[in-house]
Amino acid sequence: MKFISILTDFGIDQEYPAVCKAVILSICPSAVIVDISHTVPSYDIEEGAFMLKNFIKYAPVGVHVAVIDPGVGTQRRGIAIATRRGDFLVGPDNGVLMEAAHFLGIEKVAVLEDKEYMLEKVYSSFHGRDIFAPAAAHLLKGVPITALGRMLDIKELVHVPRLPPSEDETAIYGTVLRIDRFGNIQTTIDAEIVPKKPALTMRIGEKELTLPFVKTFGEVGPGACLVYEDSDGLITLSQNQGDASRLLGAEKRMEVLIFK
């Protein structure tokens, strides 16, 4: 199967994602295209990187394009990464590819600079269409990564800094990683390091509260708050059939403490 996935912050109310897919199909008509998401919060490289890695864990080997690119048109590089698993990652060199790249293992990195593998005219505002989609389609057709441009040392790549959770004798310290459309508050804290108690006392922002530590939403009544280990293995705060983020005034990157 010839497979390309696409992740962007373009939204779904305009033609931009479809145009990128049209470019891919014009170059590689047999391509199977899967949309990861086109509603990544605008310019949010960190969340895009996290979403791409989560998708890659369950995806077959393929070519994966991520375009969350606030630096489009600047001197930031476009890159393609060949991985040990056999996948290719294509996008801007701003960190959005790196969590997936490290999960898959990095073999080679090329700067996207050979115009033969771009659209004839490249606009400074739409590299997703003009550079990344063509590069991905050519890689899917079997063009070697070395044809796309000069090779980069892995050490030259841009990373998105993310502070890992920490702990001391009294508490585990993390932050709000993201808030989903249901208002669930996903933290950076790995559930494996959290004490296995029936309830956890936590502080999120300025609010301190004790919540039941459960496996399912159904263990509490409608409107009640809870803590659980989510499908990524992280601690998440939720409100059963409600919006915990609104109730607790949570925001991305807000500090979260779990008391031991």
The DSSP code sequence of 36-81 is EES-SPTT-HHHHHHHHHHHHTTSPS-EEEEE--TTTTSSPPEEEE
126 has which bridge partners? none
For 230-251, what is the mean pLDDT? Answer: 96
What integer pLDDT is reported at residue 245 of this predicted model?
97
pLDDT digits 0-9 by tens, 95-117: 999 999 999 999 999 999 999 99
Tell me which fold the domain 166-259 belongs to: Elongation Factor Tu (Ef-tu); domain 3 (2.40.30)
Checking if the pLDDT of 162 tops 80, the result is no
What's residue 50's pLDDT?
95
Q: Encode pLDDT of 28-83 as tens digits.
A: 999 999 999 999 999 999 999 999 999 999 999 999 999 999 999 899 999 999 99
Per-residue tokens: 221: 């009544």
> Has residue 163 got a pLDDT over 90?
no
Q: How far is it, in rounded angstroms, from Cα 101 to Cα 149?
A: 19
How many other CB atoms sit within 10 Å of the CB of residue 107?
Answer: 16
What is the model's pLDDT at position 164?
A: 85
- The confidence band for 146, taking pLDDT boundaries of 50, 70 and 90, is very high
Which of these CATH numbers, 3.40.50.10790, 3.90.79.10, 3.80.30.20, 3.20.20.370, describes 3-156? 3.40.50.10790
What integer pLDDT is reported at residue 147 of this predicted model? 98
